[in-house]
């Protein structure tokens, strides 16, 4: 498997901490000190998860030099689809990728990483040749904007990576680990509501609809700073990789304190820990590919660079992967 292209798309509205303080009792200093976030993007009229994901996918195809009909598979990692029956087929149609099968994969903030690993298996076994993996979320529609413990954290966005089979060459997915622990699922949820309506005499049926995001921030933080460095250390041991060989540490962008703690635990200098959290907040499944695209386009990530990445979040789920970037660098973006 080779990573050969990337792209991203963001809503036009950037909502600053100061703007948000007019809605809920908070302030810029409070948010920055606890999260590292200064602003987040929020989808406006005409901006949907489908449109953002399609734009990100189109940019990744252009970066890789592919045509939509070259695709065999589109994997959409999302927890906030436009259609619960599946949004990936809508993206397939919008792209004109008529030869590709398309489906959604849900694993919250670990979704992109899990989808990338899934795509790698299709490519390795020879059933697929070219795959587009998209991470996209529009969590703004599931936030209680009067709850300052969650509304300051999340933003909307989409990003994509183009992957292709590379028989006979070094695999761009050098190793991975994946974990889930449903015993801690209540720490971070986006659950169905409990409203019911009459059906026939003596019986009711549940009405569809979701409650706002609920999170136990302290428990999620403790989970992340414990499990993320542990899974990365295990992966590095599995692959015989020293931290000095890693060009970049690319973590799910949830909280700057988590990024700093993991980098310190692994002994990776701060200037090799990628972060764009301040500008976009937590875009869930989009954070890793969004950061990847930004760092490729500005020239930080260059062809051949080794990237240690980790996704973590609701489920609870977490994992890590060791990736080699083979696509164009900044000059080719």
Q: Averaged over 282-295, what is the pLDDT?
A: 98
Phi, psi of 279 (to 5 degrees): -90, -25
Q: What's the CATH code of the domain at 309?
A: 3.40.47.10
pLDDT of 177 over the 70 cut: yes
3-state helix, strand, coil in the chain (%, to 5): 40, 25, 35
- Residue 195 — pLDDT band, cuts 50, 70, 90? confident
pLDDT of 236 over the 50 cut: yes
- Residue 66 — pLDDT band, cuts 50, 70, 90? very high
Which residues are marked as active site? 109, 252, 282
3-state SS of 87-145 is: CHHHHHHHHCCCCCEEEEECCHHHHHHHHHHHHHHHHHCCCCCEEEEEEEEEHHHHCCC
Q: Mean pLDDT, the chain, as a whole number? A: 95
Helix (H, G, I), strand (E, B) or coil at 212: coil
Residue 333's pLDDT is: 43
- Residue 332 — pLDDT band, cuts 50, 70, 90? very low
Instruction: Summarize pLDDT for 101-150 with one digit per residue, the tens.
Output: 999 999 999 999 999 999 999 999 999 999 999 999 999 999 999 999 99
The verdict on 68 and 33 lying in the same domain is yes
Q: How far apart are CA 227 and CA 234, in angstroms?
A: 10
| Strands 317-324 and 306-313, sheet pairing | antiparallel
pTM: 0.95
Domain of 102, in residue numbers: 2-164
The answer for residues whose C-beta is within 8 angstroms of residue 263's C-beta and 6 or more apart is 249, 269, 270, 272, 273
Q: Averaged over 234-243, what is the pLDDT?
A: 97
The verdict on 227 and 151 lying in the same domain is no
Residue 127's pLDDT is: 92
Instruction: Summarize pLDDT for 319-328 with one digit per residue, the tens.
Output: 999 999 998 8
Residue 277's pLDDT is: 96
Instruction: Summarize pLDDT for 4-15 with one digit per residue, the tens.
Output: 999 999 999 999
The verdict on 125 and 179 lying in the same domain is no
The verdict on 159 and 101 lying in the same domain is yes
Instruction: Summarize pLDDT for 306-320 with one digit per residue, the tens.
Output: 999 999 999 999 999
The verdict on 154 and 266 lying in the same domain is no
For residue 109, which of 230, 255, 229 has the smallest C-alpha distance? 255
Quick one: angle between helices 287-297 and 49-64, nearest 10? 40
The verdict on 127 and 103 lying in the same domain is yes
Residue 168's pLDDT is: 79
Q: Averaged over 38-44, what is the pLDDT?
A: 98
Token reading at 49: 């998860």
Instruction: Summarize pLDDT for 78-105 with one digit per residue, the tens.
Output: 999 999 999 999 999 999 999 999 999 9
Based on the structure, what is the number of domains in the chain?
A: 2
Token reading at 162: 């183009």
Residue 237's pLDDT is: 97
With beta carbons less than 8 A apart as the criterion, state whether 246 and 306 touch: yes
The answer to whether residue 194 sits within a structural domain is no
């Amino acid at each position: 498997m080779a990573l050969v292209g990337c792209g991203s798309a963001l809503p036009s509205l950037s909502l600053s901490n100061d703007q948000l303080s007019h809605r809920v009792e908070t302030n810029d200093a409070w948010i920055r000190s606890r999260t590292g976030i200064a602003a987040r993007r929020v989808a406006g009229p005409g901006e949907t998860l489908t449109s953002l994901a399609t734009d990100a996918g189109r940019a990744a195809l252009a970066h890789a030099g592919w045509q939509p009909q070259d695709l065999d598979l589109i994997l959409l990692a999302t927890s906030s689809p436009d259609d619960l029956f599946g949004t990936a087929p809508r993206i397939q149609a919008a792209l004109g990728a008529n030869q590709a099968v398309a489906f959604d994969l849900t694993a919250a903030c670990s979704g992109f990483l899990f989808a990338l690993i899934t795509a790698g298996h299709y490519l390795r076994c020879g059933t697929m040749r070219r795959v587009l993996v998209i991470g996209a979320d529009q969590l703004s529609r599931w936030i209680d904007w009067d709850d300052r413990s969650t509304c300051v954290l999340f933003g909307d966005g989409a990003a994509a990576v183009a992957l292709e089979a590379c028989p006979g060459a070094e695999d761009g997915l050098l190793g991975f680990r994946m974990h889930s622990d449903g015993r801690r699922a209540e720490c971070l949820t986006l659950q169905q509501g409990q409203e019911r309506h009459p059906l026939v005499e003596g019986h009711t049926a549940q009405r569809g609809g979701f409650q706002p995001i609920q999170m136990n921030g302290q428990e999620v933080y403790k989970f992340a700073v414990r499990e993320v460095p542990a899974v990365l250390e295990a992966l590095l041991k599995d692959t015989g990789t020293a931290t000095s060989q890693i060009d970049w540490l690319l973590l799910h962008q949830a909280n700057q304190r988590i990024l700093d703690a993991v980098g310190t635990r692994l002994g990776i200098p701060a200037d090799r820990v990628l972060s764009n959290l301040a500008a976009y907040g937590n875009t869930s499944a989009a954070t890793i590919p969004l950061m990847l695209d930004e760092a490729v386009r500005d020239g930080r990530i260059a062809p051949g660079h080794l990237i240690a990445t980790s996704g973590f979040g609701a489920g609870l789920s977490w994992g890590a992967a060791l990736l080699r970037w083979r696509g164009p660098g900044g000059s080719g973006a």
